[in-house]
Chain A
Amino acid sequence: MEVQTLPRRFARPRERPGVFERVGITSLDPLLTVGALGLIAFSLYTFAVTTKHQIPGQPDYYVVRQAVYGGIGIAFMLALARIDYSRLRELRVGLYTAMLTSIIAVLMLGSATRGSKRWITLPFFTFQPSELGKLLLLCALAGFAIDRGRHLSERQRTARLMAMGFLPALIVFAQPDLGTAGVYIVITLAVLFIAGVRWTHFAMLAAIVATAATLVFVVAPLAGHPVLKGYQQNRLTSFLNPSQNPKSSSYQINQSLIAVGSGGKTGRGEQATQAENGFLPEADTDFIFAVVGERFGFVGAAFVLSLYALLIWRALRITALSKNLYGSMIAGGIAAMLMFHVFVNVGITIGILPITGIPLPLMSFGGSSVVVTFMAIGLLQSVYVQARLASKSRATASAY
């Protein structure tokens, strides 16, 4: 037997993983990544062109901050993509407790913005626990859904899961934060839906909601105990008749409609006035879509919506791909969450839904929202990566 050694210079260089491989980008869902990065990039571009004069002397105020939030968010996304989300199932009790504790803490000692307590002020930044709470609730609830499945009747399971999801929704509603409470409910319903809860249970829930709504909107105010705060009721009612009272809450809807409508097909570009002159309230957060609509027109708005469609499509696809039901529930929950955020926020902006104060993921200015959305994308990536690994090993197993 002859052993031939190659001269050193002919030796194949040891393959070293590149930077992208080492941070795990190569194994991610490319379309999902493109969609998320596209949105944050477009958000930065929008702030760069529209907020130059917002704060005198600080033309880059919004861009720099949003970029930092984006950077932190992307780091979280990459980190989460590398862990196996399935492990979160074991932490369900801890996650649920953490979520409840943080949102109750906000209610007790949070700082109020416009009469609403949503933030906790930490030494270096303020954080909105109810944003992170969405993901905590989702991961915990999905875990419980599988857990409870083992020894309870179906009806009991449904009832318990709903109670677990609606309790934090109620607390957030009391902050008061109508929009986020809605997100919690949607996440709960999505988890139940993916878990395979019977259609009849959903029908029953619908009946209960209809009764509750009657109580809240008709019976309680008549009895002298209004449940909704004044401004919430105003928002809900003014939406039905936007042009009636231009000076109060429907002012926002009107200005938003003017902004979006005046954008036309291709946008007003530098001629845009609604946001720059301050007619559009909350232009950098809840009404960012109106800014996009005015500045970039139908083309720009459609572009942003397509990116969201891309995200939602990928999320639903990952729901189907997932190697286990837990992953499906997480991916489905995130898909539903994104759908709710996008549809409600855009719906408000274009005047088809009442104002509830809900950010547009990755577009609206704000650290909590951007970081948490990227974390959600990271979870989706994790489900995707794990599904790919599982199918690879299955394929390998069948080959041998």
Chain B
Amino acid sequence: MFRDERERPPVFRDERERTRTQLNLRIAVLGGIALVMFSIVFFRLWYLQVLSSAKYTKEAQNNQVRQITVQAPRGEILDRSGQALVKNRTALSLQVRTIELPSRPHKRRSELVRLGKLVGMPYSRIRHDIHVQHKQVPASPVTLRRDVPYDLVYYLRENQDRFPGVSVNRVYVRTYPHGTLAAHVLGYVREIDAPELKEPRFAGVKPGDQVGQAGVEDSYDSVLRGINGMERVQVDAAGQPTGHILTRRAPKGGDNLKLSLSMPVQEAGESAVSSFGLPGAFVAMNVHNGQILGLGSNPTYDPSVFAKPVLTKAQTAAIFGSGTSSNPAPIYDRAIQGLYPTGSTMKPITSVAGLESGKLTASTVINDTGCFDIGGGHCLRNAGGGANGALTLVPALQVSDDYFFYQVGAWLNTSDSKNGPLQKWAKTLGLGHTTGIDLPGETSGLVPGPPWRNGLYKEHKTDRPWSYGDNVQLATGQGDLEADPLQMATAYAAIGNGGDVVRPHVGLDVTKPNGQVVQEIDPAPQRHVNIDPTYRADILQGIHEAAQAAGGTSYQVFGGYPVPVAGKTGTAVRYPYGYPGPEVDQSWYVVLAPYPNPKVVVAVTIERGGFGVQAAAPAAQKILTAYFNSHGRNIKQTGVSVPSSVSTVGAY
């Protein structure tokens, strides 16, 4: 049939039967291989899952995971020149995770006793620390010691099996290279507490995390905070890491915050205000853009205290006040939370209201007779008791004549039921409401007016309704007026810069750790008010002469000052122990410099400081000197002689 049998390949030989048989054989071989494979697999599975199951179950239980939070460093806080005001340092802290301590009381006790011997702490102290910290910061491991030596780290690592639950961890701690400097601006950080955890701005923050609690640490917390990293590590049944990291998310450090604070101005302000040993506050601000160059309050506190895991009772009382003293505590920032009458520093604001409402002109003459009759035979007198005779606005500001402004206050009381031009202008210029500074806790203060007092009277909270005498008081910054140095600085800045009511701010910019600027902080003014330039010029001239013309109220301090300035003293009468009661004089000074085109405004107040020229003015002068010297001037700070007596008839 086939001629050449050999040429046909085997598979195409037409011997279907033989091929079929051979194919079936080979399929059978494949099937056999499959059978062998499956048998091997099944026997092995039987061995693993049935015969050795107990061993592997135990190993699986030894395979435990612990989630470790890797703390992200908070951003640094810098002054305007880039110097660090707040930094982080790493500290080795000895920590105890109480849930990992032995559960049996005697074992637990003996471990802690052993640990105590190692670090030189009595058992009672350790127990006390654990107890206290658990109450204060329940979510965190208890920190027994900060900055432990490396020897201890190694010893604990080598003997970890004897100290379950004890570990030394690296933590970031806030550190303040300049001590208490700018403490009120900087604020401090603490572990987040339960109510805060519910706030939307702390979304993503876990119990045990540190968040800002005051100052810019609080207001810029979301910027500074960073995002904690996370590691899931394999641990054995004893809780010891095996060194195998299952997953890791790197921490993301917070952004750095640069402040507008100028270190020399801040230092000068703090030392000047604290030099009197009296409570007080100061603000130095750029009049055009609201950048705060210095802001401080005396007494101050040491923010590094909060870097410790737990505050003692005494520390808490020293910072937050004991609750019995009538004096607010150091934590209180008088520059933005003070509620003081402003004394005569109010007079330029009264002048604006008088001139703009047409009740007063630059040439209006008021004859100071020494006794301003407010009815019922009652006289309001100048602070010095004398009489200055006939005056126009500029000399009245120069000598700070009270009679003159009593009269203006009386004219401005257009109604006993509605706010008049004085209230309107005081509020427009920034009093009676918060300025919106980027610091937490700012108070709004109070500009008293008829609706306010009459409302209280209706509720029987005061003994009388509004009368024009109240307006007379307000015109000179006495009585019910409540304001703080920041509000006064803002109002003066508006007069000085031509009508911009700036939004004060301490933040300048936000940069990534690599230096890239993320955000520049330059808020627009709160509003612009139109003040007639001639009125401005008159008012500035008046307070310029008050500072630097013979007979001016602060001439003793600024008379020989090399930079022309425009500054106004204030002496506010306060009744800190209740009215009626002993009255004390609160010293105020607000100054714009250089005159007539000011760049900077400084406001200082010293509680119980006496007349404005006695305490606040010299302090303001030191701050100005620091400002101008850091801007290329070389003004020698002559020891300003604080006037002990005041020899003019004006009020201060």
Using CB atoms and an 8 Å cutoff, list the residues of chain A in contact with chain B. Answer: 146, 149-152, 154, 157, 190, 193-196, 246-247, 251, 255, 257-265, 268, 273-274, 277-279, 293-294, 297-298, 301-302, 305, 309, 312-313, 316, 319-320, 325, 328, 332, 335-336, 339, 342-343, 346-347, 350-352
List 13 A–B pairs whose Cβ atoms lie within 8 Å, in order of A's numbering.
Answer: A154-B9, A194-B26, A247-B243, A262-B53, A265-B53, A273-B63, A278-B65, A278-B246, A298-B49, A298-B50, A301-B45, A312-B34, A332-B27
Number of B residues, CB within 8 Å of A: 43
A350 and B9 form a contact (CB under 8 A): no
Q: Chain B contacts of A246 at CB under 8 A?
A: 242, 244
* Residue of B45, B53, B63 touching A279 (CB-CB under 8 A): B63
B40 CB to closest chain A CB (Å) equals 7
Given contacts A149-B9, A196-B11, A305-B41, 14 further A-B contacts (CB under 8 A): A150-B12, A154-B10, A258-B60, A259-B60, A260-B49, A264-B49, A264-B50, A279-B63, A298-B45, A305-B38, A305-B45, A319-B30, A320-B23, A332-B30
Q: Chain B contacts of A150 at CB under 8 A?
A: 9, 12
B38 and A257 form a contact (CB under 8 A): no
A385 to B234, CA, bound (A): 53
Using CB atoms and an 8 Å cutoff, list the residues of chain B in contact with chain A. Answer: 7, 9-12, 19, 22-24, 26-27, 29-31, 33-34, 37-38, 40-42, 44-46, 48-50, 52-53, 55-57, 59-60, 63, 65, 232, 234, 242-244, 246-247
A193 to B23, CA, bound (A): 9
A328 and B23 form a contact (CB under 8 A): yes
- Contacts A247-B243, A263-B53 given; indicate if A350 touches B23 (C-beta within 8 A): no
List 4 A-B pairs, minimum CB-CB distance, nearest first. A261-B56, A262-B60, A264-B53, A278-B246
B45 and A262 form a contact (CB under 8 A): no
A278 to B29, CA, bound (A): 41
Majority secondary structure of chain B interface residues (helix, strand, loop or mixed): helix
B157 CB to closest chain A CB (Å) equals 18
A335 to B28, CA, bound (A): 12
* Residue of B10, B11, B31, B45 touching A293 (CB-CB under 8 A): B45
A264 to B22, CA, bound (A): 43
A273 to B232, CA, bound (A): 14
B41 CB to closest chain A CB (Å) equals 5
B48 and A257 form a contact (CB under 8 A): yes
Question: Closest chain A residue to B37 by CB distance?
Answer: A343
A28 to B187, CA, bound (A): 77
Q: Chain A contacts of B33 at CB under 8 A?
A: 339
B46 CB to closest chain A CB (Å) equals 7
Q: Chain B contacts of A263 at CB under 8 A?
A: 49, 53
A152 to B10, CA, bound (A): 11
A305 CB to closest chain B CB (Å) equals 6
A190 to B26, CA, bound (A): 10
B63 and A274 form a contact (CB under 8 A): yes
B237 CB to closest chain A CB (Å) equals 13
A154 to B45, CA, bound (A): 42
Question: Closest chain A residue to B49 by CB distance?
Answer: A298
- Contacts A258-B56, A302-B42 given; indicate if A265 touches B50 (C-beta within 8 A): yes
Q: Chain A contacts of B12 at CB under 8 A?
A: 149-150
Question: Closest chain B residue to A328 by CB distance?
Answer: B23
* Residue of B23, B49, B55 touching A297 (CB-CB under 8 A): B49
B50 and A149 form a contact (CB under 8 A): no
- Contacts A264-B53, A309-B38 given; indicate if A195 touches B60 (C-beta within 8 A): no
Question: Closest chain A residue to B33 by CB distance?
Answer: A339
A54 to B41, CA, bound (A): 29
Question: Closest chain B residue to A157 by CB distance?
Answer: B9
* Residue of B46, B234, B247 touching A298 (CB-CB under 8 A): B46
A194 to B23, CA, bound (A): 6
A277 and B26 form a contact (CB under 8 A): no
* Residue of B27, B41, B48, B59 touching A347 (CB-CB under 8 A): B41
